[in-house]
Amino acid sequence: MKILYHHRTRGEDAQGIHIQSLCDAFRELGHEVHMVAPLQRRAEASNTPVPARNEEGDGDARPTLKGVPIPFWFYELLSLAYNGPAFVLLLWAVLRHRPAFIYERYSLFSFSGRLVAWLTRRPLVLEVNAPLSLELQTHGDLVLRRLAQRIEDWLCRSATRTIVVTQAMADIFAARGVPRERLMVMPNGVDGARFNPQVDGRSVRERYVPADARVVGFVGWIRPWHGVDGLIHACAALTGVHPSLHLLIVGDGPAVPALQKLVADLGLAERVHFTGPVERDAIPTHIAALDIAVQPDVTDYASPIKLFEYLALGRAVVAPDKPNIREVVRHDYSALLFPPRDWGALAERVDALLADDAARVRLGRQAATLVEELGYTWQANARHVIASVCPADASARDTA
């Protein structure tokens, strides 16, 4: 079947991973995907702004235009105006391709997909990765707050199916009056062909750390609220007990300069290694180079892609004990959890794993099994989407 995928992002950070991975999964299942992304195609011409945030709902709420920060009121007006050209492009794409349904990645103030779906009588699947009206009220300077929430709630209520990435997020929308039967909880996933325990990380280890090192690490786009500073402090507290401990920080981001200064101030330059930007294809080997993979912090409703990648590669995972994390992993079975932002407790969890090789290996093995057994893959997610909109088509494919 034909699927029309609409998004309004630059496709950076985890956003691009999610978009590309799900589209690839639809295609692997034999479906035809047509992309409508006016911003991505016409960024310079349209001047359409996007907040500098990632799809995991990490709280980054600073809108920019061509890389220059702009006030929120201006961003909001441009976002509303975006619906005009987007409506024309979407309508033309529907008339041209005749898709079975429209799949839209939710953006603040973006309602053109809903209008086109109604006008052309097409089902609309709305993917919501963060309750942006709430997030931007909390972390930004959202001006049209009531309008933003009303549009958001209307979209979630009126879409044929609204996909949210955690039960915690479903609870937020249900409390705001969105019928639970409209909501489908679908956590993020991973490409099992690229992220699996057979990936060899030795070449990365040889590049950065001594042969006898025990490597703790973080992989991802690095922003101040990701808690990587807490991870550095936790590891600093363990260097006297574990002389072979090294910390590998994989990726780039606005928090890196401050983190590098912190490392220098703590005298950890020989123990902490910053890789800088890493190509997407090299991410699996970098995660495989870790003995312990850490998710230092996460917003309360996010479904962090890096967590699934850590698990799929069979790493021993340490993560904050939050409801959205507990939806995926169980403490002392598929991960070790610590009280959120308690860096002393994080140090204790890392210490326990560094001191017990058998426990670390067991945790990693059970993590990889969890991904396989519960189907935390993009292809499984694509199947769920098809089944939710076109159950007859999904049943026919499963029978075949």
SS (H, E, C) 36-50: ECHHHHCHHHHCCCE
Q: Indicate the CATH number for domain 2-189+377-399.
A: 3.40.50.2000
Tokens of 252: 């780039």
What is the secondary structure of 324-348 as a DSSP string?
A: HHHTT--BTTTBEEE-TT-HHHHHH
Q: Is the pLDDT of residue 400 over 60?
A: no
139 pLDDT band, cuts 50/70/90, is low
Of 206 and 136, more confident: 206
Mean per-residue pLDDT, 274-283:
93
Superfamily of domain 202-374: Glycogen Phosphorylase B; (3.40.50.2000)
Q: Could you tell me how many residues make up the chain?
A: 400
56 pLDDT band, cuts 50/70/90, is very low
SS3 254: coil
Cα gap 65→15, rounded to integer Å:
18
141 pLDDT band, cuts 50/70/90, is confident
Residue 64: the pLDDT is 72
Residue 45: the pLDDT is 32
Mean pLDDT across the chain: 89
Residue 17: the pLDDT is 84
330 CB burial (10 A radius; 0-12, 13-18, 19+): exposed
How distant is the alpha carbon of residue 293 from its chain centre? 16
SS3 377: strand
Q: Where in the chain is the domain with CATH 3.40.50.2000?
A: 2-189+377-399, 202-374
Q: Is the pLDDT of residue 13 over 80?
A: no
H or E stretch at 360: helix 357-374
Cβ atoms within 10 Å of 376's Cβ, excluding its own? 21
Q: Is the pLDDT of residue 209 over 70?
A: yes
Mean per-residue pLDDT, 140-148:
85
How distant is the alpha carbon of residue 346 from its chain centre? 22
Cβ atoms within 10 Å of 15's Cβ, excluding its own? 21
Q: Is the pLDDT of residue 399 over 80?
A: no
Cα gap 288→260, rounded to integer Å:
23
H or E stretch at 245: strand 245-250
Q: Is the pLDDT of residue 300 over 70?
A: yes
List C-alpha distances in Å: 119 to 33, 224, 292, 388: 21, 43, 51, 21
Q: What is the pLDDT of residues 104-137, one digit of tens each?
A: 999 999 999 999 999 999 999 999 998 888 887 7
Tokens of 211: 């042969």
**154-171 CB burial, b ≥16 within 10 A, e <16:** ebbebbebbbbbbbbbbb
Residue 383: the pLDDT is 95
Distance spanning both ends of the chain, measured CA to CA: 15
Strand (E) positions, 257-343? Answer: 272-274, 292-294, 316-320, 336-338
Residue 4: the pLDDT is 97
Q: Is the pLDDT of residue 360 over 50?
A: yes
Do residues 337 and 319 make contact, with C-beta atoms less than 8 angstroms apart? yes
What is the secondary structure of 200-218 as a DSSP string?
A: --HHHHHHHS-TT-EEEEE
Residue 71: the pLDDT is 83
Mean per-residue pLDDT, 256-280:
95
Cα gap 368→283, rounded to integer Å:
17
SS3 127: strand
Mean per-residue pLDDT, 215-228:
93
Of 279, 322, 278, 291, which Cα lies nearest the Cα of 169? 322
Tokens of 182: 């409209």
58 pLDDT band, cuts 50/70/90, is very low
Mean per-residue pLDDT, 21-49:
72
